[in-house]
Amino acid sequence: MNAFTLQGKRALVTGANTGIGRAIAIGLAEAGAHVVAAGRSSCDETVATIEAAGGTGEALYMDLADGTHGVAALQEAGDIDILVNNAGIIRREDSVDFAEKDWDEVMDVNLKAVFMLSQAFAKSVFARSATGRIVNIASLLSFQGGIRVPSYTASKHGVVGLTKILTNEWAAKGINVNAVAPGYIATNNTKALREDPKRAAEILGRIPAGRWGDPADIAGAVTFLCMPASTYIHGAVLNVDGGWLAR
């Protein structure tokens, strides 16, 4: 058996329309998986890229701000072997002025939806007497406090906690639950930081690798955690940060 292939597997990736999610979807397809690219925005370009490279995929509309809709969309996708909880949002404001609405919106997408989709996925896997993989996308702010992003920081700390509790309950039942914590990656979410000369220099100066990460760097780590080669990895949080946390 080839321990480094996803041939014959079906994977669902949330937030697959752009950035890290798009790269993950493409990476899983390159490894042989049929990818369901899910998002609130169109994932047609992601699917087109997958198919142009000889892979297979499909787009699925999924609004994770509505937990009920997210679960229904997951069920609509059919039998899934791999779930990547990548979708996330962020709101920035001083904590003393942070609005309850912004708190709730971030927590609903970044944490509640992760649990609800994982729960629905596990029910499906158990009902089929199958095995499965869940990879949650955490963050450097799963370990650090950050500034002016209280709900994001709380949600990403929560993602790591969920990864651990679901591992405790599901590892012996055939589901591997792990997380990947991206560092500073060149995506739309970090555009403002990269265009701020002072902040960009401060960030780059702390990264031992000497560069911003590429979405493909995250895709490689996620793909590995979905492969047979990682079967005995449970409850891990893999930092893909260019060495940021080593400083």
Q: Which residues are catalytic?
A: 152
Distances (CA, A) of 181 to 34, 98, 195, 203, 226: 24, 25, 23, 17, 15
Q: Which residues contact 54 (CB under 8 A, 6 or more apart)?
A: none
Q: How far is the C-alpha of 177 from the C-alpha of 222, rounded, in Å?
A: 11
Helical pair 215-225 and 19-30, crossing angle rounded to 10 deg: 50
Long-range contacts of 123-132 (CB under 8 A, 24+ apart): 124/75, 124/79, 124/80, 125/174, 125/175, 126/173, 128/79, 130/79, 130/81, 130/174, 131/81, 131/174, 131/175, 132/80, 132/81, 132/82, 132/83, 132/174, 132/175, 132/176
Q: How far is the C-alpha of 90 from the C-alpha of 237, rounded, in Å?
A: 21
Which phi and psi angles does 63 have, rounded to 5°?
Answer: -105, 100
Q: How far is the C-alpha of 9 from the C-alpha of 140, rounded, in Å?
A: 29
Q: How far is the C-alpha of 192 from the C-alpha of 242, rounded, in Å?
A: 20
